[in-house]
Amino acid sequence: MAKTIEEINEKIREGKAVVVTAEEMIDIVREKGVEKAAKEVDVVTTGTFGIMCSSGIYFNIGHTKPRIKLGGGKVYLNNVPAYAGFAAADLFLGANALPDDDPRNRYYPGDFEYGGGHVIEDLVSGKEILLTATAYGTDCYPRKSLNAYITINDLNEAVLFNIRNAYQNYNVAVNLSNRPIYTYMGFLKPKLGNANYSSAGQLSPLLNDPFYKTIGIGTKIFLGGGIGYVAWHGTQHNPNVPRTERGVPKVGAGTLAVIGDLKGMSPKWLRGVSMKGYGVSLAVGIGVPIPILDEEIAFYTSISDDEIYAPVVDYSSTYPNREPDIITEVTYKQLRSGEIEVLGKKVPTSPLSSYVKAREIANILKDWIKTGKFLLTKPSAPIPGPESGIKFKPFSGREIKEEVKEK
Amino acid sequence: MRTERIVLHFPKHLADKPVIVNLVRKFDLDFNILKATITPDEEGVMVLEITGEEENFQKGIQYLKELEVKIQPLSQDVIWDETRCTHCGYCVSYCPTKALQRDEKTYMVSFDPQKCTTCGICVEICPYKAMEIRLVI
């Protein structure tokens, strides 16, 4: 018998809802079967904590006296450039932004000590951030410069808005070349010296809802230690990919755009990241509740690491040149064992996302729901599934021969 | 040729006297100051890298000892900041001596300083800067 979200919420209000983590659900379904599990369990909580580059914040600093129009000017936060293309007092900062004078990879591999992700962590921590701005001045906004310390408490709205998070599955990165390489998937030793992966696997939100039957626009989630919502499907959302018999994508597929009040979040779940030779970023903690509305959804949430496959990709050549080849497929169970076999060679594995934190998030969310602090929401619209026909396109702009010179 | 990193403790009475420059003038040694501080009780501490011929090196050290400069070899410690660590386990497979390990069930990372040879790879690669090299003086 199918349940509704309203019925589940009623149980949550009464403190009677049965809430388990996606990890716990595996054994429940194995022991009791899908039918019984679907009846008994009301909510399955998922979690993921990893480096999610397409993250950012927007905020409003209020109006200075006299007024300054930041829009169209230049603004830096702790020397990191912010986007000032909105109105007078609104700014956007992306996790990958770097100070203009950062050496980047001029001294290879660069250290990327401090950037957008670190500013976001410092702001969430309540630290003072140095805001330096220049503007052109108008009759209504006469001021031309601003040099001030701000904290998150000084801001009006401060909102985390991540345009692509929670990737549904991801590549395993290896290096087939003869030289060490520094990638967003970490340091890769030459000649298959190691293999790096980045997914919470059986705990990951979209791997527990492979066809986006419950996660949609408006779904309330754990975001950065506070409350957030799914705002849209994420950029590069790619539901039409090869899937296993269980419907689980065998390569990177769906993504989520998420939004939430930064003021309710914590630096424990939003962490600045420095990837040697690559850049800066932000590690984000996300947890999504999945209402067990029927047996089909119960079945999906029982997915385990040995049933999820990831493609092994060469990041020395195939990836940078956007070739389609994959070397082999491995399961997350194999990856988590610490060693996989690639081209006949035993290769040590390293995770880039934290399974420990993913598990902690799933448990926190479980606790919030069990104690009635967190009710489920019904999506106002679904995110596109395979039936939408949406496929992620490669770059198809009309290129011009002349090289662009750096200004 | 010999290169050594050493820690020098200067007593108060040497505070206003030229000492290090004499390593160059008298013993033809190259030096590189890695760190220099003055403690609250006015004792000077300096971490130096000295390079020179073996014989000159010995003479230079003898000269410092005669001036009552205390000399120690430099050692480095790798420090694990558990508050920065997210227990992702990224570092574990890179650690050559298994000083960094991951529990098979809980996946929690642990660090055993006894096994650490301060190679520094973890310091280089940790995205969260949870590993740090500190000079022990």
Contact A356 B86 (CB under 8 A): yes
In sign, the C-alpha dihedral spanning A103, A163, A272, A203 is negative
Asked if residue B116 lies in contact with residue B68, where contact means CB atoms within 8 angstroms, the answer is no
The helix (H) or strand (E) run that includes residue B55 is: helix B54-66
Task: Enumerate the residues of chain B whose CB falls inside 8 A of the CB of residue A275.
Answer: 127
| B137 — pLDDT class (breaks 50, 70, 90) | low
Q: What are A298-349's pLDDT values in tens digits?
A: 999 999 999 999 999 999 999 999 999 999 999 999 999 999 999 999 999 9
Binning pLDDT at 50, 70 and 90, where does residue B12 land?
confident
Interchain CB distance below 8 Å, A354 and B89: yes
Residue B15 has pLDDT above 80, yes or no: no
Q: Which residue of B has its CA nearest to A277?
A: B125
Residue A234 confidence (pLDDT) above 90: yes
Question: What is the per-residue pLDDT for B134?
Answer: 86
Q: What is the mean pLDDT of residues B9-17?
A: 84
Q: Chain B contacts of A352, Cβ < 8 Å?
A: 88, 90, 127
- Predicted confidence at residue B72, as pLDDT, reads 83
Which residues in chain A (363-382) have CB-CB distances under 8 A to chain B? none
Asked whether the beta carbons of A169 and A199 are under 8 A apart, the reply is yes
Contacts of A174 in chain B (CB under 8 A): none
Contact of A266 with chain B, judged by CB distance below 8 Å, is answered with no
What is the per-residue pLDDT across A238-269, written as a single tens digit (0 to 9) for each? 999 999 999 999 999 999 999 999 999 999 99
Residues of A in Cβ contact (< 8 Å) with B108: 356
Task: Tell me the nearest-neighbour CA distance from B130 into chain A, angstroms.
Answer: 11
Task: Look at residue A347 and give its three-state secondary structure.
Answer: strand
Name the minimum distance, in Å, from the CA of B57 to any CA of chain A.
Answer: 33
Closest CA in chain A for residue B124 = A276
Smallest CA–CA distance from A284 into chain B, residue: B86
Nearest to A219 by CA among A397, A43, A17: A43
Q: Do A187 and B127 touch (CB under 8 A)?
A: no
pLDDT at res. A88? 97
Q: For chains A and B, what is the number of CB pairs under 8 angstroms?
A: 65
Q: Which two tokens stand for residue B35?
A: 């760190």
B12 to A379, B18, B42, B67, B74: CA distances (angstroms): 73, 13, 6, 11, 22
Q: Mean pLDDT of all residues in chain A?
A: 97
**Residues A150-190: pLDDT tens digits?**
999 999 999 999 999 999 999 999 999 999 999 999 999 99
Mark yes or no for CB contact A353/B94 under 8 Å: no
CB contacts under 8 A, B 49-108 vs A, are: 86-94, 102, 106-108
Mean pLDDT of B46-61: 91
Residue B136 has pLDDT above 80, yes or no: no
Q: Please indicate if any CB of chain A lies within 8 Å of the CB of B123.
A: no
Chain B residue with CA closest to A354: the answer is B88
CA–CA distance, A357 with A29 (Å, rounded to integer): 24
Check pLDDT > 70 for residue A1: no
Q: State the best of A113, A284, A333, A356 to mutate against chain B, taking most chain B CBs within 10 Å.
A: A356
Q: Which tens digits make up the pLDDT trace of A5-34?
A: 999 999 999 999 999 999 999 999 999 999
Taking residues B102-129, report their average pLDDT.
94
- Say whether A283 and B93 touch across the interface (CB within 8 A): no
Q: Is A280 on the interface with B (CB under 8 A)?
A: no
CA distance A336 to chain B (A): 9
pLDDT score recorded for residue A188: 98
Q: What is the mean pLDDT of residues B102-110?
A: 96
- pLDDT tens, residue by residue, B25-35: 999 999 998 88
Q: What percent of chain A has pLDDT over 90?
A: 99
Confidence of residue B5 (pLDDT cuts 50, 70, 90): confident
pLDDT at B76 over 90: no
Q: Which residues of A are catalytic?
A: 140
Q: What is the pLDDT of residue A66?
A: 98
Q: What is the mean pLDDT of residues B113-128?
A: 93
What's the pLDDT score for residue A161?
98
B49-86: string of b/e by CB count within 10 Å (b at 16+)? Answer: ebebeeebbebbbebbeeeebeeeebeeebebeeeebb
Q: What distance, in Å, lies between the first and last C-alpha atoms of chain B?
A: 25
